Amino acid sequence: MLQIGDWDRIVLTGGSGFLGRRLRAALPSGTDVVEVVSPARFASHQQVGTMSSASSTAAFAARLAGARSILLLHLATRYVPSGAPCDIDELLESNVMFPSQIGRAHV
């Protein structure tokens, strides 16, 4: 069974949300966490290791450089109750393309 200590670095999206705050608090001290927050929350949530989700793939790659193994905990989500066809692009961008960008940055 894998454990948190098996990873060089943890990338946490949604760290300012309900689950993310609790998960972050439960991580052992000294865990290397890159917390990714929305641009709207970035200004008020800056701390060591925090990045804006609007960062470029190159910026993510620079922050993840040197880590042999990365665990991506993608807890952020965009939810639209109506689920109208006009929402599909935004939902795909937030929930699929964005975590893919982080994955590409580590390749």
- What pLDDT does 79 receive? 80
Chain mean pLDDT for the chain? 80
Helices (H), ranges, the chain: 18-26, 39-42, 57-64, 88-92, 98-106
pTM: 0.75
pLDDT per residue over 12-59, tens digit each?
888 878 888 898 888 888 888 888 877 666 666 666 567 777 778 888
Give the model confidence (pLDDT) of 49-101 as tens digits.
677 777 788 888 888 888 888 888 888 887 888 878 888 888 888 788 878 88
Q: How far apart are the first and last CA of the chain?
A: 24
> Length of the chain in residues, anyone?
107
Task: Please give the share of the chain, as a percent, with pLDDT higher than 70.
Answer: 87
pLDDT for res 37: 74
